[in-house]
Structure 1
């Protein structure tokens, strides 16, 4: 019995809900797929699938087995792909999207380093704070910051991130320093429109995530513009450190509410689910992970 072939057949049937669709996916005859499922069930001594004239559903044992099969086959593919790409040369074009400020200030040197290493690859980079549809707009890779929300996409953490609340020393001298998120109600908050439409900021309080309502007279969909507004003393803002690091180091801005910062603001490479990630994408992800981890 070819156990791996049988597991592949089982996964295909379970995910497609049909023997016929699974057979087409595997380029096999229906009878071959049926025999592989029967052999697997006979070997395990349990029923994995419930077959009716209209659909195929998983038994409780089948669902439990599917979870492990996915993990096992996924790990095997990962190992095989990593070995293959070590002997293959990355070529072709990569369509990449990233947030504007991160792309300009952090991503650019990492991409330059990658292209120097792999000159047969070209990268078409689109910088925008809009969250693009990777599948619908045919992007190979997206750089995203913060908690991930789409379970249909794959992701690899590239580096740790941090988002801080800050303002100029002069602003704090005039308006006072907030001691808790609730104190922000008394401040002019310069807000990022793409974060809760600029109406609230996320914090961690007593181990739980909260959203503190904020208001102010300046909102933008670009972090660099908010940075400049904060430097001009217009108010208090919440921004990633990759935007404000230099201003913090030069003491032009000061951080408050550090004890309330959320911890899920890491940087990820996000891509479509695929059975075989191309060499060019895999090498770029690995390069970004190494480069950004070293520089952060």
Structure 2
């Protein structure tokens, strides 16, 4: 099998269409189509079912795709190890974490890391969906819960809790609650129910000091911690936000300082096969140092 055709086949199978694969590879749709047809002729079986809404792999196509995907994965591992053979840490480092943690804490730290290790090419992938590290969708993850994937190395990174915050303009208009029971008279923004909760007790603020006979109703639900933060910053209401977001420096004020949510553990996670990676080691040590410098 021709390697260039397999590379194009891999892109088409992942994209689900000739058009999207062509955009990714900077090739025309007709050129992509010709290469796939030539590959199908060489293996003497159809690899895709073609229909108006896109492409679906045939049984034989799926078999080939799984094999090619595995080869690409192994090649990327070899490429990473070759880059690691130099004295200085170098090469690409894809880091994934949640939108909230990445936007408010991690991104501001990256400037210093890049200055210290200019040969490491950092990419941040901020998503509340967990990427598959085993398939190298990312090299490193910072997770707000223990990883569920097998064959991953995990290192506790930090423990944090959540506190109650509101925008100064909101507090001046609605008043500052002096005790948990007074939260009944306030607008509360909580995490939405449409997606998995970061932690089971993420919406503890609805119950703090509340009376069972008069449950609190949130003014807004948002399926993103960062979205909750943005809503609170706009002056919509109060919310519990992680300490690492440092909202006191972002136009928010802490109220009811004696109140805090459950403690959550964040983890530094990477595949077992990257255990000896210099890039990952220096990034891990950098983060541990920055965490040690934090003052909650």
- Equivalent positions of 1:194-273 (< 5 A) are 194=195, 196=197, 201-202=203-204, 215-241=217-243, 242-247=245-250, 252-256=252-256, 258-264=258-264, 266-273=265-272
CA distance, structure 2, for counterparts of residue 165 and residue 195 of structure 1: 22
The worse-fitting range, judged by mean Cα deviation, of 237-246 and 131-140 is 131-140
Contact 1:110–1:292 (8 Å) recurs in 2: no
CA distance, structure 1, for counterparts of residue 254 and residue 96 of structure 2: 31
C-alpha distance 119-230 of structure 1, shift in aligned 2 (>3 A)? closer
Q: Which runs of 5+ in 1 are unaligned?
A: 1-84, 206-212
C-alpha distance 139-214 of structure 1, shift in aligned 2 (>3 A)? farther
Runs of 4 or more consecutive aligned structure 1 residues displaced over 4 Å after TM superposition: 168-173, 182-187, 197-200
CA distance, structure 2, for counterparts of residue 91 and residue 232 of structure 1: 41
CA distance, structure 2, for counterparts of residue 175 and residue 294 of structure 1: 34
**Residue-by-residue CA offset, 1:242-271 (whole Å, 9 max, x unaligned):** 151314xx6x4232373442122x433122
CA-atom RMSD in angstroms:
3.7
CA distance, structure 2, for counterparts of residue 88 and residue 95 of structure 1: 20
Q: Which residue of 2 aligns with 1:22?
A: none
C-alpha distance 216-199 of structure 1, shift in aligned 2 (>3 A)? farther
CA distance, structure 2, for counterparts of residue 236 and residue 294 of structure 1: 28
C-alpha distance 273-185 of structure 1, shift in aligned 2 (>3 A)? farther
C-alpha distance 94-228 of structure 1, shift in aligned 2 (>3 A)? closer
CA distance, structure 1, for counterparts of residue 108 and residue 257 of structure 2: 31
Aligned length: 197
Q: Which runs of 5+ in 2 are unaligned?
A: 1-83, 208-214
The worse-fitting range, judged by mean Cα deviation, of 129-138 and 283-292 is 129-138
In the alignment, does 2:166 pair up with 1:163? no
SS in 2 for 1:258: coil
Q: TM-score, normalised by structure 2?
A: 0.53
